[in-house]
Amino acid sequence: MANPFVHIELTTTDIDKAKTFYQGLFDWELTDQEIGPGMTYTMIKVGEGTGGGMMQAPTPGMPSAWMPYVLVDDVVAATAKAKSLGATICHEVMEVMDAGSLAIITDPTGATLGFWQPKAK
């Protein structure tokens, strides 16, 4: 598969409740990482399969939701192509620490999807 799902992310209204629930339900390994002043991102290790992360919703009133990320070779080109095919760009391309770059789109049917390009090694 050329563009597999590589990361699944939960943005939640109650991070502590979500962590307790999912760790109890699936016995996932959760590791908190500081990603900025007062900002924590929880990495999810699932064993086999695609891992992910979870974080507190950054905007008041934002609903809790899971979002998948797809691996792309060029996040800028993938975002431009999606836009040319009718997608709305929810979050322009941004670098994520020293890990890579992401962008978030909404497809013409209203579904949201993230693009992920790891940083070249």
Distance CA 18, CA 10 (A): 9
Work out the average pLDDT over 1-18. Answer: 93
Structure confidence by residue, pLDDT tens digits, 43-99? 999 988 899 999 999 888 899 999 999 999 999 999 999 999 999 999 999 999 889
Give Cβ neighbours of residue 84 (< 8 Å, ≥ 6 apart): none
Q: How is residue 111 written in tokens?
A: 């579904």
Distance CA 46, CA 25 (A): 12
**Predicted pLDDT of residue 59:** 86
Our count of domains for the chain comes to 2
Q: What is the mean pLDDT of the chain?
A: 94
User: Are residues 82 and 48 both part of a single domain?
Assistant: no
Does 35 have pLDDT greater than 90? no
User: Are residues 95 and 116 both part of a single domain?
Assistant: yes
Domain final position from 67, 94, 109: 67
Does 108 have pLDDT greater than 70? yes
Distance CA 106, CA 43 (A): 24
Residue 81 belongs to domain with CATH number? 3.10.180.10
